[in-house]
Amino acid sequence: MSLTTLSENRSHGGIQGVYDHTSDAVGTTMTFSVYVPPHEAGAKLPVLWYLSGLTCTHANVTEKGAYRRACAEHGIIFVAPDTSPRGDDVPDDEAYDFGKGAGFYVNALQEPWARNFRMRSYIEDELPALIAANFPADMARQGITGHSMGGHGALTIALRNQPRFKSVSAFAPIVSPLNCPWGEKALGGYIGPDKDKWREYDAVALIEDGARLPDLLVDQGTADNFLTEQLKTGLLALACKKAGIPATIRMQEGYDHSYYFIETFMEDHVKWHAGRLI
């Protein structure tokens, strides 16, 4: 359970760190960031996971996410993993939406992806154990959020792992990979042609199949150019309504898919998680 410290910087009274370790789950070195807010010695703090979107690493939200002030105020550890395995021996694809940077938080079944592309196991099992062993984390108080592909990951991981996550939110999530080009490409390539096996990686399908959340917060920009074809927020709203899941789905006028959008609403999301974790 050892890790290597790549950098640590003081911010808002706490420590923003970047670390790496050798991952058994994906078979390569993985880098992630952790912000630990100021706290009393011996205290155990709740954890908020943030899963990034296509083409991103841990660095995108760490450098542009504007979460540290709110995490310091509410006493929340913020963990930002990578989006896929990395390394010269890891298979890749020329397209931006498949291969490195596009792990989709699945355990791949198809070759050549099955050996390394096991981000589901990494996020659900391996990295939480590493966080618990090396940081003052109260793993009984976990929340999860994410953006786009990471919003898909946050929703599906939370739905499959209740009641582990006490709070769940997302920024512009891919809500139904079964019904969008990004999802069809990723799940077809990683999982294979049997669409019944895709359902455990589709938030709408998981809800239809009986999975539930205590409640949900989603922000989606109306000027997001991926909204109609790829994100399809309305499918999630309908699924939650049918299932009786309390869902606050906010259509934010004029906002796009960028980190300007995420930065605008990040502190609001941290506060919302704090109300369910503290």
Note whether 224 and 147 are within 8 A (CB): no
Known catalytic membership, residue 258: no
Q: Angle at CA 167, nearest 5°, toward 241 and 183?
A: 65
- d(C-alpha 35, C-alpha 17), whole Å: 6
Q: Which of 262, 87, 119, 232 is nearest to 186 (CA)?
A: 119
Q: Which of 148, 167, 169, 176 is catalytic?
A: 148
- d(C-alpha 269, C-alpha 191), whole Å: 32
- d(C-alpha 182, C-alpha 179), whole Å: 9
Q: Which of 147, 257, 269, 273 is catalytic?
A: 257
Known catalytic membership, residue 257: yes
Known catalytic membership, residue 20: no
Q: Which of 176, 224, 269, 273 is catalytic?
A: 224
Note whether 79 and 58 are within 8 A (CB): no
User: Which residues are known to be catalytic?
Assistant: 148, 224, 257
